[in-house]
Chain A
Amino acid sequence: MGKLAREVAVVAVGMCKFGNYSKYGPPEQIKTSRDLWMEAYLDLVQHMEKSDVNIQEEAEALFLGNFSSDLFETQGHLAPLMAEVIGLNPKPAMRLEDACVSGGVAFRTAVISVASGMYDTVIAGGVEKMTDLTTAGVTDTLAAAADAAYEFPYGATFPGLYANIATAHMAKFGTTLRQLRLVGIKNHNNGKLNPRAQMQMTMEDMMNKNIQKGVGNWNDIWEYLDDDKVNPWVAYPLRLNDCSLVTDGAAMAIVTTRENAAKYTDTPIWIIGTGQGSDTLALHDRPDRTHLRAAQEASRQAFQMAGLEPKDIQVAEVHDCFTIAEIVAMEDVGFFAPGEGAKAVEEGLTELNSQIPINTSGGLKSKGHPIGASGIGQIVEVFKQMRGEAEGQRQLKNIPEIGLTHNVGGSGGSCTIHIFKR
């Protein structure tokens, strides 16, 4: 266990601009999942280092992460459709669903399929179109990733479940509301620099915009973030700006062998560690509600395979579906000891060009969280950072050689971790 049978690389990535393409918006801005998926494909093709490869000939299968096109768009059977529109029919196409880690699981399955020798080149992708439902509809659809028998009937929502993790973490480690807010502030600072982010603005930008619109007046960002009018409670201790966005988006990556990699690029990004874990679906069944065992297990497997330690990681995208989730993630991966993650954020250790830059893309908080695409979106960012191709000022000054992605499903029922090396 714990070894890839042959070397596997990511050689090209693409993503659409994450955003809100709701059917309730202006007609020229409305996009469905297939539209976004094709935009991600064009982005990949446009940025491929060597453009004379025929993807339709080379790619042998599609592994697609998607949580719930059924409920979000009344469209099941998504994988053959996504294969169709990028010219992969009649090759095998399959959808993988593990809530918010659908993309991570699709990627890992793609990697394993290449490592096994079954395929030489495959596409791992993810797509989600979330904005066509009402707020209650989105809340209910996301809650389907929780235990339908023993959590939902008692009032569980996803923010509510992570809020439970937050109150447990606060009670055990003294984590503060201010520390939670700092995670969101940092991620919006990064997201402002990402042209594919849904919200390319800092929290301060948001405050200034609201001042200009005459919504209110605040002396500083802390006053703003404590104001129920602009930053209402969603689930105490989480306010609106502690929650990731409701997002439409798609992302994809080409995964291949050492033999094939040179056809695409001279700088492949190698997958040197992959791990996956599971845990009880219901939060209440876990003895420790301050950390995610599935993430700890996935992390253990990935580091063991890579022969590395957390201190070796130079850039990481972690699953910040809520601000508390980023703190828990950093502790689960081992960047910081349990209870130390929040302090690290406070000390600025996770900002751009610091000790361990976390969520340089803006994370799910600012870049957006199109559920099934998020895990692939993380890989897109790490791939770009490790090749010095991140747009704008967010490119790390020391181009990282080793990166990590951490993608969680539900309230921690599943998790994948990947470690990459240039």
Chain B
Amino acid sequence: MAKKSPKPIAKAPVPPGKAPAPKPAEKPAAPAVKPFTVQSYTDFINEKKLMGAKCKDCGKINLPPRIVCSNCFKGNLEWVEVEGKGTLASFSSIFIGSSFMNAKGYSSKQPYVFGTVDLDSGVSISGHIKGVNELDPDSIQIGMRIQVSYEDGTEIFIDRSGNKTERPKVFLTFVPEEQ
């Protein structure tokens, strides 16, 4: 952090008859490093990148990212790309889905699989598992190898005035690993 200037805060008086020079239009500079927020994680997924926050102190990879490390609880982090390969740790084929998934076309006739995934880098996340037989859950094996797959789609965005707009969105999903 920059040290505080010892100067008084009051502005120098403007000489009479001279207007202050117009300031350049203020535009906040994009931060060199994206903040380690939920939004940044989602933004990276829209770029088809699985990004975590690696702790510079203890080495823990936090995926999804966090502002405070989940292992040593310090705030000294850097972005790392995480390889999206791992194993299926638990799953369910969901027949009565959330309205969010129903809107994507899933139903009791076409269930979807939601599972938890242990990635090879030692972190775990939840995911929508595709490319498996949802109607025959016995065919889905815990421990099976899976990998990240990015699905192009859209989402409805409602602005503060209530106007709905559709905008592109990339969904993070998993599929069985290619041999």
Closest chain-A Cβ to B84's Cβ sits at a distance in Å of 14
- CA gap between A338 and B64 in the complex, in Å: 30
A77 within 8 A of B: no
Would B94 and A157 count as touching, CB distance under 8 A? yes
Q: A149-B64, A284-B124 are in contact. Are A232 and B91 (CB under 8 A)?
A: no
B121 within 8 A of A: no
Q: Which of the listed residues B90, B97, B143 has the most CB atoms from chain A within 10 Å of its own CB?
A: B90
A73 within 8 A of B: no
Would B99 and A282 count as touching, CB distance under 8 A? no
A143, A150, A152, A163: the one within 8 Å of B92 (CB): A163
A237 within 8 A of B: yes
Would B142 and A159 count as touching, CB distance under 8 A? no
A235 within 8 A of B: yes
Closest chain-B Cβ to A381's Cβ sits at a distance in Å of 29
Would A164 and B114 count as touching, CB distance under 8 A? yes
Segment among A98-106, A132-140, A382-390 that sits at the interface with chain B: A132-140
Interface residues in B101-121 (C-beta closer than 8 Å to A): 101-102, 106, 108, 111-112, 114-117
- CA gap between A149 and B64 in the complex, in Å: 10
Chain A residues touching B, majority SS: helix
- CA gap between A233 and B101 in the complex, in Å: 17
B172 within 8 A of A: yes
Q: How many A-B residue pairs have CB under 8 A?
A: 109
Q: Write out the residue numbers on chain A whose beta carbons fall within 8 Å of the beta carbon of B64.
A: 149-150
Closest chain-B Cβ to A109's Cβ sits at a distance in Å of 27
- CA gap between A337 and B91 in the complex, in Å: 24
B137 within 8 A of A: yes
Could you give, for residues 42-74 of chain B, a 1 whenever the CB lies within 8 Å of some chain A CB and a 0 otherwise? 000000000000000000000010000000000
Would A237 and B126 count as touching, CB distance under 8 A? no
Chain B interface size range: 20 to 34
B149 within 8 A of A: no
Could you give, for residues 123-147 of chain B, a 1 whenever the CB lies within 8 Å of some chain A CB and a 0 otherwise? 0111110000000010000110000
Q: A135-B96, A235-B93, A236-B137 are in contact. Are A155 and B108 (CB under 8 A)?
A: no
Which chain A residue lies CB-closest to B142?
A: A171
Would B137 and A154 count as touching, CB distance under 8 A? no
Q: A136-B99, A149-B38, A284-B116 are in contact. Are A154 and B127 (CB under 8 A)?
A: yes
- CA gap between A140 and B142 in the complex, in Å: 27
Would A283 and B92 count as touching, CB distance under 8 A? no
- CA gap between A139 and B98 in the complex, in Å: 6
Could you give, for residues 139-158 of chain A, a 1 whenever the CB lies within 8 Å of some chain B CB and a 0 otherwise? 11001000101111111110
A167 within 8 A of B: yes
Q: Which of the listed residues A150, A154, A164, A171 has the most CB atoms from chain B within 10 Å of its own CB?
A: A154
Given contacts A236-B94, A282-B126, 18 further A-B pairs with CB under 8 A are: A139-B99, A154-B126, A157-B96, A164-B91, A164-B116, A165-B90, A167-B142, A171-B143, A234-B96, A235-B92, A235-B95, A235-B96, A236-B137, A238-B92, A284-B89, A284-B125, A285-B124, A289-B89
Which 10 pairs across A and B sit closest by C-beta, in order of nearness? A163-B92, A164-B90, A284-B116, A168-B90, A236-B137, A236-B93, A171-B142, A155-B114, A233-B95, A136-B99
Q: Residues on B close to A: CB < 8 A?
A: 38, 64, 89-102, 106, 108, 111-112, 114-117, 124-128, 137, 142-143, 172
